[in-house]
Chains A and B, each alone.
Chain A
């Protein structure tokens, strides 16, 4: 854990992304897609139809619980990213601070003996969770039951390099203000006239704000691999459709996978090394 998580420059005490939650009209298919990408289905929620997929440092939650927030989200938007959980040093303190600053708290359904995770309104109706159990004990220890050792092998994907948020025209600056004011993010060197990047005070959460159509939301998850070529070869062997090199910037990500349902979400794949280098540029 970095010292940045405890400094005064990091008032929310952020320390990376704990999990990303997906809403899917066909959760079984989404789970199979994740397995093909090297994610292992490691746990199931104790009381809900919710599964945890894991690879490297990444936790993906697929929420197929009927009438859940995620399922309502999927019905209105198709398969999409419906929540991001940020790791924070102290969720109670962070929640108080967030409330004082105008974060919009959302009540979530919690079952008996389940953890209540504070949730706030994020972009496009998505949620931002604050989680402080991620060191010795995790939230999964309480709410999830481990599944039998899964058969799938990892594909060498190590972490989430960046999330891309689609912003309606003219609203990039409003969202920059939001993340800077509320979460203590800072703006990175501009990457284009319609695209801005912010990074959390802990340096582990990166977000790219891109002007797109009128529908706002988290659209792209950029994953990183230590050995990009080997990872790409493994994924290709498993039948994951790999697209062209997308950007000409230093990190040169490949389009990994675009989920076909409307309003969907896409994944990009980049090299961990390139992604690190890009930040210093």
Chain B
């Protein structure tokens, strides 16, 4: 398995954008998933400086995060969110990022009508087409109306746009505790990105605990209790024909207190572990 298919999420690393990118590149990564926050928060040179820093790093961007709580809104809230979406799309155009991650809405204001959700995904698809950007719809385990891969896939199918697909995060998949068999039957060209992280516990947590773990206590694959499940998942995705990127999305408070170079090296070891196990598994 090709190591270059693994990317690290800048949220996994502490420091400035240039420190994060430097650490990722030094650890052998060739692509990153990028947070809008990292671009606008760059200390020197503003957005242009951040974009320059990204170009200098020669790292490719496999995903841009995140447009949240977009679908299902109406009136001025929808208009507001469209402005936010446009701003993110413009930043992506500058940064050379071509996949916008749109996480399923948690807003109490949001409609759960499937046709409204599909309509808003189409709206994003239309906004993004002239800029050459794709829309990756990602179910959050605590999404208000869409919280698992099956509901998200139904929304993507209903939207019926070439540049709208799915982004699936192992944490959110495992947190719901649903069987994943149907996931491997989704046409793999509609799966735009897979995010991987490990966890310290192997059970289906309650909602508030779920959010806490997701935002603060994730691990790199192979470091936690989901290691076996992650190997199986990646193996079955590969067998189903998935050829996109895997991004390590590891929000971890401990890692936020470590030098990014150290954390990036742990991420690289995780790639070694995954590639080793999967390649070994294929040879039996």
> A103 and B163 in contact (CB under 8 A), knowing A168-B132, A171-B132, A216-B132?
no
- With CB as the reference atom, state the residue of chain B lying closest to A214: B132
Interface of A is mostly: helix
- A213 to chain B minimum Cβ distance, whole angstroms, is 13
Count chain B residues whose beta carbon lies closer than 8 angstroms to a beta carbon of A. Answer: 15
Q: Are B126 and A178 in contact (CB under 8 A)?
A: yes
- B85 to chain A: closest residue by CB: A102
| Interface bits A199-227 vs B (CB < 8 Å: 1, else 0) | 00000000000000000100000000000
Asked whether any CB of chain B lies closer than 8 Å to the CB of A101, the reply is yes
Alpha-carbon distance A178/B162, docked complex (angstroms): 9
- Asked if B122 is an interface residue, CB under 8 A from chain A, the answer is yes
In the complex, chain B residues whose CB is within 8 Å of the CB of A177: 125, 129, 161-163
CA distance A181 to B126 in the complex (A): 8
Instruction: Say whether B127 faces chain A, with CB atoms less than 8 Å apart.
Output: yes
User: Taking the complex as formed, is B123 at the interface, i.e. its CB lies under 8 A from any CB of chain A?
Assistant: yes
Knowing A174-B162, A181-B122, A181-B161, say if A104 contacts B127 (CB, 8 Å): yes
**Distance in Å from the Cβ of B171 to the closest Cβ of chain A?**
30
Chain A residues near B124: list those with CB within 8 A: 102
Q: Is B281 an interface residue (CB 8 A)?
A: no
Bound CA span A121–B163, Å: 17
**Does B280 belong to the interface (CB within 8 Å)?**
no
Q: List 15 A-B contacts (CB under 8 A).
A: A100-B123, A102-B124, A102-B125, A102-B126, A124-B130, A173-B162, A174-B163, A175-B129, A177-B125, A177-B129, A177-B161, A178-B126, A181-B122, A181-B161, A182-B126
A216-B127 Cα distance, complex, nearest whole Å: 16
Contact partners of A216 in chain B: CB under 8 A: 132
Interface residues of B in 17-38 (CB under 8 A from A): none
CA A234 – CA B55 in complex, angstroms?
52
